[in-house]
Structure 1
Amino acid sequence: MAMFTMDGVRKTFSSGEVKEEILKGINLSLREGEITALVGVSGSGKSTLLTIAAGLQPASGGQIIFEGNNMITMSPEQVRKIRASKFGFVFQFAHLVPFLTVEEQLILMLDVSGSKVKKKEQKIEIDKILKLVGMEHRKNAYPSSLSGGEKQRVAIARAIIHKPKVLFADEPTASLDSRRSKDIMILIRDLTRTLNITTLMVTHDEEMLSYADQIVKMSDGFVMKSD
């Protein structure tokens, strides 16, 4: 079932009288419980498409349908609320708050997302998520004591603690070695299926494509191929 649909999505940047069309009418459907990987050379438009889909920058035209509503016609405040409550984000670097413990990172995310989990139940939910990502034994640790792989696991836990509908992952394994990259992709794949999340991922690493359910190849602002 398609949870998230893009129809004719365009993006144009202007510099003085010069206009450059980065996305040229993208059509793409993302399904629940599946990972869609965006691939292509640098400048192909894949990162621009991900940030637009995630509501981090506006499109110039087209439709982005999420839960039956067109995000492109929403106000910035409406998009912000969806982004906070319904979306999760994992980036190349974990971007953890240095002075918060692992547990406190997740508490902050619950608060920011407007989660309805009651304060007295938060630690129960956090323990469940940390167990899912294999980090329950490190919940009182600070980021400075974590390895790169551990930081990324915490970043993933933070991204899903509020039970998002869509997970956006931008080069989630780029800063890791091959072994840790595979571990993180297995984790993202398993969480996507177990929690029935819709995942959109940008990657340059062809080895990571084996974990995707749909591979979308982009070139010069077009979708060239979908496997």
Structure 2
Amino acid sequence: MTTFTIDGVKKSFTNGEVEEQVLNGINLSLQEGEITALVGASGSGKSTLLTIAAGLQRASGGQVIFEGKDMTDMSQEDIRKVRASKFGFIFQSSHLVPFLTVSEQLMLMLDVSEIKMSKHEQKEEVFKILKLVGMDHRKDAYPASLSGGEKQRVAIARAIIHKPKILFADEPTASLDSKRSKDVMKLIRDLTNTLNITTLIVTHDEEMLPYADHIITMKDGLII
């Protein structure tokens, strides 16, 4: 089932008096319960496409359709609400808050997403998600005591704690060694299937591609 559609999306930047076209009319559909991987050389436009799809920057043209609505017509406040409640994000760095425990990282995400839960319900949900990613035994630990792989597992748990419809991952394994990279990608693969999430990943790592359902190669702002 198609849950997200990118239709004719263009993006340009003005550099002095020169207009640089970064995306040249991208068409892409994302499927529920599947991983789509964007690959291509640096400067191909894949990260720009992901940030536009995620509502982190505006397209210069075209449409981004989510749940029947064109996000390019939404106000910044409406886009913020969609990001907080319906989207999950994983980045190259885990971006964990250093003075919060693992559990508190997830509790904060629940507060930001404005999901109506009591504190007791939040704690139960946090423990359930941490168990799902194999980090329940580290729930009271601080980021400084976690390995790189553990930090990324917590980042993944934080990204899915509010049950997002779409998961965006920008180079989620770039800072990890080969074994931890495969562990993280297997986890993303399993969660995508189990929770029926639509996942869009940007990656340079060819070893991650077997975990994707669809591989989209970009070059010079086009899908090739």
Same fold judged by TM-score > 0.5?
yes
Aligned twin of 2:107: 107
Rounded to whole Å, the distance in 1 between the matches of 2:217 and 2:117 is 39
4+ runs deviating over 3 angstroms: none
Rounded to whole Å, the distance in 1 between the matches of 2:62 and 2:73 is 10
Task: State TM-score, norm by structure 2.
Answer: 0.99
Rounded to whole Å, the distance in 1 between the matches of 2:50 and 2:118 is 32
Alpha-carbon shift at residue 15 of structure 1 (Å): 2.2
Aligned twin of 1:16: 16
Aligned twin of 2:189: 189
Alpha-carbon shift at residue 75 of structure 1 (Å): 0.6
Alpha-carbon shift at residue 161 of structure 1 (Å): 0.3
Q: Which runs of 5+ in 2 are unaligned?
A: none
Aligned twin of 1:93: 93
Question: Residues 1-227 of structure 1: matches in 2 within 5 Å?
Answer: 1-224=1-224
Rounded to whole Å, the distance in 2 between the matches of 1:58 and 1:167 is 19
Rounded to whole Å, the distance in 2 between the matches of 1:88 and 1:219 is 26
Rounded to whole Å, the distance in 2 between the matches of 1:116 and 1:188 is 26
Amino acid of the residue matched to residue 199 of structure 2? T
Q: Alignment partner of 2:162: what SS?
A: coil
Q: Alignment partner of 1:157: what SS?
A: helix
**RMSD after superposition:** 0.6
Equivalent pairs counted in the alignment come to: 224
Rounded to whole Å, the distance in 1 between the matches of 2:84 and 2:60 is 22
Q: Alignment partner of 1:24: what SS?
A: strand
Higher mean C-alpha deviation, range 116-125 or range 183-192? 116-125
Amino acid of the residue matched to residue 193 of structure 2? R
Rounded to whole Å, the distance in 2 between the matches of 1:119 and 1:28 is 40
Map Cα deviations across residues 76-126 of structure 1 (whole Å, 9 max, x no partner). 111011011100000001010000000000000000111123222011100
Rounded to whole Å, the distance in 2 between the matches of 1:178 and 1:157 is 21
Higher mean C-alpha deviation, range 118-127 or range 192-201? 118-127
Q: Alignment partner of 2:49: what SS?
A: helix
Q: Alignment partner of 1:210: what SS?
A: helix
Map Cα deviations across residues 126-164 of structure 1 (whole Å, 9 max, x no partner). 011000000000000000000000000000000000010
Q: Alignment partner of 2:9: what SS?
A: strand
Higher mean C-alpha deviation, range 115-124 or range 26-35? 115-124
